[in-house]
A and B are shown apart, each in its own frame.
Chain A
Amino acid sequence: MQPLTNRSKAVLQKEMTFAEKLYLPAIINGMIITFKHMFKKAATIQYPEQKREFSPIYRGHHVLKRDDEGAERCTACGLCAVSCPAEAITMQAAERKEGEEKLYREEKYAANYEINMLRCIFCGLCEEACPKEAIFLTDRLVPTEFDRGDFVFGKDKLVEKVDDRVDVTRRQTQDVLDFKQNKKYSHNK
């Protein structure tokens, strides 16, 4: 019969040699191995003091960005909600009033914007869908809560503070920006 792969091996059931039956050489070999491990560097990361660096594309807690003047970028177009496979995003749009130009960048804004963090699968499709560079996933962890209701994050937890900006440059690389500006793709038209 033709073997399917070249990896097949004939199984031998040979008698153990005296040394193997004695079992002691095997024990000593094992002990040498464990002894050597005593002097190896521990793989431990001592958590509260040390933190493991996240991968550059880590997708965690979302942020709703403001522009350079501090106005919210989101226009409540709803593309993120449409793209969300977990249906975690809901929003309500509102019209910008006179005198609110400093708060909202365009005439329409999200009066309510909620992400259910228990539904969210952190796939990053909302970020990809967003035409306004408004929503990003960051390398922050979603905090723990005691009630399920508290996991529905509103704008208070999602929008970045004016004086405490969230750095998204690790995910918002030049490639990403180019991709988002490229008129070849339908969502940018």
Chain B
Amino acid sequence: MENYYLFKIILVIALFVVSLVVAMYSTFAERKISALMQDRLGPNRAGPFGLLQPLADGIKMFMKEEIIPNVSNKTLFILGPCLAMTTALMAGVLIPWGGKIELWGETFNLQVADLNIGVLYIFGVTSLGVYGIMIGGWASNNKYSLMGAIRASAQMISYEIAMGLAIIALIMTTGTMSLGEIAAQQDAGWANIVYQPLGFLIFLICAFAELNRAPFDMPESESELIGGYHTEYSSMKLGLFLFAEYINMFISSAVIVTFYFGGYNFPFQNEINEALGLSTNMATALGTLVMFGKIFFFIFFFMWIRWTLPRFRYDQLMRLGWKSLIPLAILNILITGVVMWMNGKLN
């Protein structure tokens, strides 16, 4: 039992560090990718290829003057970024990062907690993320910040529904709400994307909206709201907000991969592992590597979209959410139900 706790603690710390490092280098990747897409070079001065740029950014953020507006609610003003960061880090514990791992003569799952209601937990935690934005924006006592906060919460409410409905169809096909099982089910057969293409599309679009990423970056929209909810923030508190966005991006990429792209599984994995003669631990490591490859692709995809599409108008955003995505998601549930019923899988 001590081994169990020790393993979980190590895993939690590793997960924490990995999330932060990935988020750090996501900021670098974002700048580099945006530069490449705009025929520029991007950061290339700090260290080889500019690889130390995130460190330089971090130091800059810490060194900057910290301003708390007099008219703001100080407690809530400080609570905002903390909440954003905490909730961003919380969702990662549910993701199955790999298969089984043998350690100290015992077998563990490479997952911190496999709740049987994992999907609900993920939903709960990710929707808590908007509280950081909302509280931060509201407590700033600034019109732009308040506008950003209002937009963030309205957007979250609108897209959470469509996202939930898209997931219901997935739960119908998989028959479980545990993320570990959802990932494990995809090991031999097809990945869930094959059964749920429409659901995946809806989920992906909603993920963009929940992350407040372009083209749904209404709460920030620097060109309209001067940065929206983080207008009044400076120093590392601003850094935490920005950082939370990248951690969220990492986690939601992981969630998308787990839900729809087989998580740590890859095609012909059993054959490949046998052919290479890999031990359990090595096979798990390979699976984890593959999973991170998929995650990085999705992080790239998020950035790719950001530097391609212009921002939606607020009414267009609402129309897309309420009039297109929600009916589509319901239709998806219906189609899924009918197909399952015809195949006799509905019981």
Stretch touching chain B among A33-41, A76-84, A114-122: A33-41
CB-based contact B41/A46 at 8 Å: yes
CB-based contact A37/B41 at 8 Å: no
B3 at the interface (CB under 8 A from A): no
CB-based contact A37/B309 at 8 Å: no
CB-based contact B40/A27 at 8 Å: no
Chain B residues near A35: list those with CB within 8 A: 37, 304
Which of A27, A41, A42, A43 has a CB less than 8 Å from the CB of B308? A27
**Cβ contacts A7-46/B at 8 Å (1 or 0 each):** 0000000000000000000010011011101101111101
- Residues facing A in B292-347 (CB within 8 A) are 304-305, 307-309
Q: How far is the CB of B215 from chain A (nearest CB, A)?
A: 9
Chain A residues near B304: list those with CB within 8 A: 31, 34-35
CB-based contact A37/B37 at 8 Å: yes
Number of residue pairs spanning A and B whose beta carbons lie under 8 angstroms apart: 35
CB-based contact A37/B40 at 8 Å: no
A27 vs B214: C-alpha distance in the bound complex, in angstroms? 13
CB-based contact A41/B39 at 8 Å: yes
Which of B33, B39, B44, B309 has a CB less than 8 Å from the CB of A43? B39
A43 vs B304: C-alpha distance in the bound complex, in angstroms? 20
CB-based contact B305/A42 at 8 Å: no
Chain B residues near A40: list those with CB within 8 A: 39
Q: How far is the CB of A83 from chain B (nearest CB, A)?
A: 43
Chain B residues near A34: list those with CB within 8 A: 37, 304, 307-308
Among A31, A33, A41: residue with most chain B CB under 10 A: A31
CB-based contact B39/A30 at 8 Å: no
Nearest CB in chain B to that of A23: its residue: B320
CB-based contact B37/A43 at 8 Å: no
CB-based contact A43/B40 at 8 Å: yes
Q: How far is the CB of A36 from chain B (nearest CB, A)?
A: 9
Chain A residues near B107: list those with CB within 8 A: none
CB-based contact A44/B40 at 8 Å: yes
CB-based contact B41/A30 at 8 Å: no
CB-based contact A37/B39 at 8 Å: yes
- Residues facing B in A31-84 (CB within 8 A) are 31, 33-35, 37-38, 40-44, 46
**Cβ contacts B20-61/A at 8 Å (1 or 0 each):** 000000000000010111111100100000000000000000
Q: How far is the CB of A50 from chain B (nearest CB, A)?
A: 11
CB-based contact A31/B308 at 8 Å: yes
Q: How far is the CB of A142 from chain B (nearest CB, A)?
A: 27
Which of B33, B40, B307, B309 has a CB less than 8 Å from the CB of A42? B40
Nearest CB in chain B to that of A37: its residue: B37
A40 vs B41: C-alpha distance in the bound complex, in angstroms? 11
Which of A27, A38, A44, A46 has a CB less than 8 Å from the CB of B37? A38
A87 vs B240: C-alpha distance in the bound complex, in angstroms? 55
Q: How far is the CB of A1 from chain B (nearest CB, A)?
A: 36
A42-B35 contact given A27-B309, A31-B305, A34-B304, CB 8 Å threshold: yes
A27 vs B320: C-alpha distance in the bound complex, in angstroms? 15
Can you list 22 A-B contacts (CB < 8 A)?
A27-B305, A30-B308, A30-B309, A31-B305, A31-B308, A33-B308, A34-B37, A34-B307, A34-B308, A37-B36, A37-B38, A37-B39, A38-B37, A41-B39, A42-B35, A42-B39, A42-B41, A43-B40, A44-B40, A44-B41, A46-B41, A46-B44
List chain B positions with a Cβ less than 8 A from chain A. 33, 35-41, 44, 304-305, 307-309
Counting from the closest, the 9 A-B pairs by CB-CB distance are A38-B36, A44-B41, A34-B308, A34-B37, A30-B308, A42-B41, A37-B37, A31-B308, A43-B39
